[in-house]
Structure 1
Amino acid sequence: MLLPGSVTDKFYGTFPQILAAVSGTISAISDGMQYGWTSPTIPILLSEDTPWEVTPIQAEWLESILMIGACCGLPATMYLVDKVGRKKSLLISMLTTLLAWVIMAVAPRIEYVFVARFCAGMAGDMAFVAAPMYIAEVADQKIRGFLSSLIYVMMLTGILLVYCVAPFVPVWGPCLLGILINSIGLLIFPFQPDSPYYLLYKNQPEEAKQALKRLRQTEDVDAEFKDISLAIERQKTEKGRFQDLFLVPSNRKALTIMVMLNSSQHMSSISVMLMNLHSILAEAGSFYVAAHTGAIIFSATMFVAAMSASLAIDNFGRRFLLCTSGIIAGISLLIIAIYFNVKNSGVDISNISWLPLAMVILYAASFKFGIGLVPVVMTAELFPAKVKAFGMTLSDLCYVGFSVITLQIYHSLRHAFGIQVPFYIFACSCFCTVIFTICYIPETKGRTLEEIQMILKGEFNPKQNYTDGTNEIEDKSKEAYKNDAFVP
């Protein structure tokens, strides 16, 4: 017997949705490998065993070029997710990343690697915009948070994989794994259903209904199909211009939330950690474990934390996870900063050299339990269909932009004032995220996409069903938009 609220009940009848989400995000394993590739590989490239001639400046730019590629890929992402759809955009991303790994595997000079990582950044950006959109539109609301978080779990799997493999094999070794992973995605994902929301938005009702039947494993989808149709019809009455992100109050609030959350991820030092962890641990001077071992423990901790959070996010809610994560991550980074401050002042702290590794592990667990996971879930929840591509792409611009900014902050301040200074800044950012969450972010747990729009508009009534198919509710939605819209 299925118990109400049990895990079995929660996932009952959702296998097609899970398969679609897993196959659509499997390339994120490869993206995670690209993301974490520099941490174990740069020490090799700067050693005598390097396969290419690499200067220290080139090594630092190997980190940033991935995120610069992501920034440059934003216009293409914005165009493709609406023009060809979420599913086809994900397939394009997989193919591009596969080709990037091929180039890196056979590259005769470091310049080829720069080009490959630039292209991988463009593809990764497209995947991290298209995948949350696709999953939010195919998933049942009871598991939407769990499935939306899968892309980050996949990414962490890739980081863990490259940390475990790269220090012990030739430089082309991880490239073969990346090629294999993307090949699997390209073989499975084309056979998954497209988003019913997107198909209806493109005036393909029969295809949308068939996709919904396949995803829900039932022929009785008329009620949900009508709900989606009404939501799409209402959203089609709304303006879909880029400037409406700023002119319509509810869109502006959604954009503000996502800009702050995506920026806070990197201002909480995650890019710095993932791309420089081996050198950070080496500089900390731990006598207990080697840097590459500590990095593996770090990435494994992040993976476990993300898996736990993906299961908990639909039970505990977004705000609770963000606040808890921000406080613990901030304390961890503050202790790391103080440790380096004391160490660089000449005090002998060899008896507590275990502390940085312990704090790094605590940071890994706390960050991925909230700040590192919740934004990707909320990104696909907050924006209405008409401006979703614009909103998610602009949010992603802040995500990749602040990645480049934090890497430059880290390297510049570390060389000028010491490694402790950037960590003080990153700790403050975590605490600021907590304050912003408490003051500004609404709870979206257990709400339909239509209800979330009503919350942002300030028109939400917990007793009102916003998608029950009645004309009264449709009129209510349209009236809410009129009241919310910008009047020149």
Structure 2
Amino acid sequence: MYDKYFLRQCFIASGIIFQAFCGSMSVTLPSVLNPILLSPNTSDIKATSYEVSWLAACNSITGLVGYFVLSPMMQKIGRKMTHFSVSVTVAIGLIVLALAKNMVMLFIARLIHGLYLGSIFINSIIACEYSDPKRRSYMVAIKKLSVSFGVLASHTLALCWTWRQISIFSIFPAIIAMIINWYWPESPSYLALKGKIDECRHSFYWLHGKSGEKEYELRILIAAQTETRLKNKLNKSNMVIQLLHLCRDKAFLKPFFVTTVLLLAVDASGRFYFVIYVTQIIKEIVGNESSAAYCTIFFDIITIVAIFASLFVIHKFKRRTVICCSGFMSGLLMIIISILIYLKSQFVTLLYLSWIALSVIMIQNFITCIGLIPISYNIIGEIFPLEYKGSGPSFSGISFMTFYFISLKFTPVIIEEIGLQGMYFMYGLSLLLCIFVLYYILPETKDKTLQDIEDEIRGIKRTTVEASKC
């Protein structure tokens, strides 16, 4: 017998998946576009290496704007319409990109796509709020899987299509995401926060059913958010006082610090700079552009296999264990990669060192994608209390965009100044330091409801009697 509630949650997830797919294609396009812009043989738009590095990193500027616009929007107008508006924005950016005739239009398209970056945490939050606690990690992992498929599609289509054709193709998943999104119910968590109790119950029952366990979960949700709403009414104040309150509230500071360290770890592991500069990195190791293009596609396939494998890992092991183990191994492998690339530069005749280095990079990428990356975004979507689902992602967005901008803008500079081996050593050491900190501060969230996680962050222990009062 089929589970209609599982199918309904899959329907919600499909809207997130299509948006993540087209969004990742738009974000990854510089890896396809940059070599063409720099090529002396191109008959299309031409650019300098300085312009190309800014083109790769400029979306972090509007990404920061996106965090400060979309996160409060999510708290004001709801999850459904915020998600819909992001899909519309991605589609507009892709249309501008496909019609671009000069560098100015390319920069405009890239800046528009930066707003999608501001929705990365929001999509994780939405996936967590709409799904069952036991399925929550799968939903977020599948979202990451769709991102990897988008990256693979972008790199593969580049072998036979122009970047304009890829841009046009990417518009259709965005349209599908809009259509699916239009038929979503609103998130029960958002409705509870806004005091729309009857609508909250209707949405919750549609998604989860009316079993005894779910009834208890719903009562706890309504009780907690009623309490939060009453507290907010009593503490209405101006923005400065609210900001001071955030700086003193442990329920905000702890998730913010955990999120910042997780983001730094994810960035250091190569989540963004490797995806954007993968062709250049591989070309520098193997010395052949054609081999680098095919190796790039192979790496994308490895990433997809890793995220599929992460579904099993997420089910079997605790989040803390997986992040600490995969992060430590990834950092250690990056140090080994650094040593191998250095040896290759010293012993040029030993060609097999290039392929050993590539193999270790592949293993490092696999380990990172099987644990650190998908589970980090899962925790980021879970850890902020519902009261701070707007301000939390906004302030975390500052950390994310700072790391994103630095890694994309300065990775080419780092490679030029201290070499590929220096880059891997620096990022590997940074990752190991992050894992050391996370070992002491990261909470366990596996199989817990979002309300259980919030209560743990706040240091609250609820009883069955409290829930029954609602």
Above 0.5 in TM-score? yes
Q: What residue is the counterpart of 1:284 in the other structure? A: 285
Return the alpha-carbon distance in structure 1 between the equivalents of residues 299 and 209 of structure 2. 39
Q: Is 2:86 the counterpart of 1:93?
A: yes
Determine whether 1:339 maps to 2:340: yes
Give, in whole Å, the separation in 2 of the partners of 1:155 and 1:443: 25
The CA deviation at 1:361 is 1.3
Matched residue type, 1:400: M
CA distance in 2, matches of 1:378, 1:187: 28
Contact 2:32 2:155 in 1 (8 A): yes
Question: Do residues 208 (structure 1) and 200 (structure 2) align?
Answer: yes
Contact 1:103–1:116 at 8 Å: present in 2 too?
Answer: yes
Relative to structure 1, the CA distance from residue 230 to residue 38 in structure 2 (aligned partners, 3 Å threshold; closer, same or farther) is same
Alpha-carbon distance, 1:218 to partner: 5.0
Q: Summarize the Cα distance change of 1:353–1:24 in structure 2 as closer, same or farther, 3 Å threshold.
A: closer
Q: Does 1:378 align with 2:379?
A: yes
Task: Determine helix, strand or coil for the equivalent of 1:234.
Answer: helix
Name which of structure 1's ranges 413-422 and 11-20 shifts more when overlaid on structure 2: 11-20
Q: Does 1:469 align with 2:452?
A: no
Q: Name 2:457's counterpart in structure 1.
A: 456
- Residue 479 of structure 1 is matched in structure 2 by none
1:157 aligned residue: 149
SS at structure 2 position matched to 1:178:
helix
> CA separation in 2, counterparts of 1:287 and 1:38?
20
The match for 1:185 is 177
Flag the 1:328–1:389 CA change in 2: closer, same or farther, 3 A.
same
**Which sits farther off after the overlay, 133-142 or 337-346?**
337-346
Aligned 1:404-443 pairs, distance under 5 A:
404-443=405-444
CA distance in 1, matches of 2:127, 2:70: 17
Whether 1:76 and 2:89 are equivalent positions in the alignment is no
Is 1:129–2:130 an aligned residue pair?
Answer: no
Q: Which moved more, 1:176-185 or 1:16-25?
A: 16-25
Structure 1 range deviating more: 306-315 or 246-255: 306-315
Q: Which residue of 2 aligns with 1:352?
A: 353
Structure 1 counterpart SS, 2:272? helix
Amino acid in the other structure paired with 1:210: H
Does 2:100 correspond to 1:107? yes
Q: Report which stretch shifted further, 55-64 or 227-236.
A: 227-236
Q: CA deviation at 1:141?
A: 0.9
Cα pair distance change 1:311/1:211, threshold 3 Å: farther
Please point out which of 47, 55, 68 is paired with 2:48: 55
Cα deviations across residues 156-201 of structure 1 (Å, max 9, x unaligned)?
1111110111232112121122101101111111101110111122
Match of 1:478 in 2: none
Shift of 1:420: 1.6
Q: Tell me, yes or no, if the aligned pair for 1:451 and 1:466 is still in contact at 8 Å.
A: no
Shift of 1:138: 1.6
Structure 2 CA distance for partners of 1:219 and 1:319, relative to 1, 3 Å? closer
Q: Matched residues in 2 for 1:383 and 1:73: separation?
A: 18
Output the amino acid matched with 1:469: A
The residue aligned with 1:169 is 161
* Alignment-derived partner of residue 269 in structure 2: 268
In structure 2, what is the equivalent of residue 298 of structure 1? 299
Unmatched 5+ stretches in structure 2: 236-241
Contact 1:245 1:391 in 2 (8 A): no
Q: Tell whether the 8 Å contact from 1:143 to 1:314 is kept in structure 2 after alignment.
A: no
Q: Is the 8 A contact 2:221 2:451 kept in 1?
A: no
Matches of 1:22 and 1:412, distance apart in 2:
39
Q: Is the 8 A contact 1:333 1:363 kept in 2?
A: yes
**Alpha-carbon distance change, 237 to 375 in structure 1, aligned in 2, over 3 angstroms:** farther
- After TM superposition, give the deviation of residue 219 of structure 1 in Å: 8.4
Larger relative contact order (CA 8 Å, sep ≥ 6):
2
1:262–1:396 CA contact under 8 A, matched in 2 = no
Which residue does the alignment assign to 1:368? Answer: 369
Which deviates further from its counterpart, 447-456 or 133-142?
447-456
- Measure, in 1, the Cα distance between the counterparts of 2:33 and 2:412: 18
Q: Secondary structure at the match of 1:333?
A: helix
| 8 Å Cα contact 2:344/2:353 also seen in 1 | no
2:17 aligned partner, one-letter code: T
Deviation per CA, 1:52-73, whole angstroms, max 9, x where unpaired? Answer: 1212211111210122221232
**Structure 2 Cα separation of the partners of residues 208 and 307 of structure 1:** 33
Question: Which residue pairs with 1:485 in the alignment?
Answer: none
User: What is the CA–CA distance in structure 2 between the aligned matches of 1:155 and 1:242, rounded to whole Å?
Assistant: 34
Confirm whether residue 24 of structure 1 aligns to residue 22 of structure 2: no
How far does residue 467 in structure 1 lie from its aligned partner after superposition?
8.7
In the alignment, the residues of structure 2 paired with residue 16 and residue 468 of structure 1 have an alpha-carbon distance, to the nearest angstrom, of 30
Q: Which residue of 2 aligns with 1:225?
A: 218
Q: CA deviation at 1:311?
A: 4.2
Kept in 1, the 8 Å contact 2:14–2:177? The answer is no
Residues 118, 467 of structure 1: alpha-carbon distance in 2 compared, 3 angstrom cutoff? farther
Q: Secondary structure at the match of 1:410?
A: helix
- Residue 34 (structure 1) aligned with residue 26 (structure 2): yes
Counterparts of 2:428 and 2:134 in 1: how far apart (Å)? 34
CA distance in 2, matches of 1:443, 1:467: 25
Aligned-pair CA distance for 1:415: 1.7
**1:405-424 per-position Cα deviation (integer Å, ceiling 9, x unaligned):** 12234222222222221211
CA distance in structure 2 between the aligned counterparts of 1:231 and 1:166, rounded to whole angstroms: 50
Q: 1:357 to 1:266 in 2, by over 3 A?
A: same
Name the one with the larger helix percent.
2
Please report how far the alpha carbon of residue 237 of structure 1 lies from its aligned counterpart in structure 2 after TM superposition. 4.2
2:302–2:362 CA contact under 8 A, matched in 1: yes
**Change in 2 beyond 3 A, CA 1:316/1:400:** same
Distance 1:228 1:420, change over 3 A: same
What percentage of aligned pairs have identical amino acids? 21
**Structure 1: how far apart are the matches of 2:313 and 2:371?**
10
SS at match of 1:244: helix
Q: Does 1:117 align with 2:113?
A: no
Q: CA distance change for structure 1 residues 310 and 67 in 2, over 3 Å: closer, same or farther?
A: farther
In structure 2, give the amino acid aligned to 1:38: P
Q: CA deviation at 1:29?
A: 0.7
Counterparts of 2:464 and 2:439 in 1: how far apart (Å)?
26
* Alpha-carbon distance in 1 for matches of 2:52, 2:296: 19
The C-alpha deviation readout for 1:334-376, integer Å capped at 9, x for no partner, is 1221122223335433122212321221122111122211221
Q: Which residue of 2 aligns with 1:477?
A: none
Mean CA deviation greater in 221-230 or 117-126: 221-230
By how many angstroms is 1:380 displaced?
A: 2.2
The one-letter amino acid paired with 1:229 is I
Structure 1 unaligned regions, length at least 5: 2-7, 475-488
